[in-house]
Amino acid sequence: MNESTVARVALDDPFWGRFRETVTREGIPYQWKALNDQLDADAEPSRCMRNFRIAAGKEQGEFGGFVFQDSDVYKWLEGVAYSLRWKPDPALEAVADGAIEEITAAQQPDGYLDTYYIINGLDRRWTNLKDHHELYVAGHMIEAAVAYYRVTGKRALLDAAIRFVKHIDSVIGPEEGKLRGYPGHPVAEMALMRLYEVTGDPMHLKLAEYFVNERGKSPLFFEEEDARNGNGFYWKNSPFRYQYYQAGRPVRDQKDAEGHAVRAMYLYSGMADVARVTGDGSLARACRTLWESTVRRRMYVTGAVGSSEYGEAFTFDYDLPNDTVYGETCAAIGLVFFARRMLQLEPRAEYADVMERALYNGVISGMQLDGKRFFYVNPLEVVPEACEKDAHKRHVRPERQKWFGCACCPPNLIRLLASLEDYVATRSGDTLYVNLYVGGEIDGGALKLKMETNYPWQGDIRLRVTEAGDAPAAVALRIPGWCPGWTLALNGKALEPEVKDGYATVRRAWRAGDALSLALEMPARYVRAHSRIREDAGRVALQRGPVVYCLEEADNGGALHCVLTDTHAGIDAVYEPDTLGGVVTLTTGGFREPDGDPDDAPYRFGDAPETRPVRLRWIPYYAWANRGVGEMRVWVRA
β-strand 440-443 against 381-382: which pairing, if any?
A: unpaired
Q: With contact defined as beta carbons under 8 Å apart, do 479 and 486 qualify? A: yes
Catalytic residue among 312, 356, 381, 552: 312
H-only helix segments in 481-629: 553-556
Q: With contact defined as beta carbons under 8 Å apart, do 540 and 554 qualify? A: no
Q: What is the CA radius of gyration of the chain?
A: 25
Residue 496 annotated among the catalytic residues of the structure: no
d(C-alpha 582, C-alpha 579), whole Å: 5
Amino acid identity of residue 279, one-letter, is G
Closest CA to 377 of 369, 385, 387: 387
Give the number of other Cβ atoms within 10 Å of residue 609's Cβ: 13
d(C-alpha 336, C-alpha 342), whole Å: 10
SS3 36: coil
Q: Which residues contact 131 (CB under 8 A, 6 or more apart)?
A: 67, 184, 231, 234
d(C-alpha 47, C-alpha 36), whole Å: 7
Q: Which residues contact 311 (CB under 8 A, 6 or more apart)?
A: 235, 238, 240, 244, 259, 260
d(C-alpha 560, C-alpha 631), whole Å: 7
Q: At what angle do helices 261-278 and 329-345 cross, to 10 degrees?
A: 20
Sign of CA dihedral 122, 127, 129, 133: negative
SS3 6: strand
Residue by residue, DSSP assigns 491-503 as TTEEE--EEETTE
Catalytic residue among 48, 330, 408, 550: 408
**Burial class of residue 302 (count of CB atoms within 10 Å of its CB; 0-12, 13-18, 19+):** buried
Residue 408 annotated among the catalytic residues of the structure: yes
Give the number of other Cβ atoms within 10 Å of residue 184's Cβ: 23
SS3 434: strand
Return the bridge partners of 515, or none. Answer: 464
d(C-alpha 346, C-alpha 340), whole Å: 10
Give the number of other Cβ atoms within 10 Å of residue 102's Cβ: 16
Q: Which residues contact 599 (CB under 8 A, 6 or more apart)?
A: none
139, 145, 148, 149 alpha-carbon torsion, rounded to 10°: -130
Catalytic residues: 312, 408
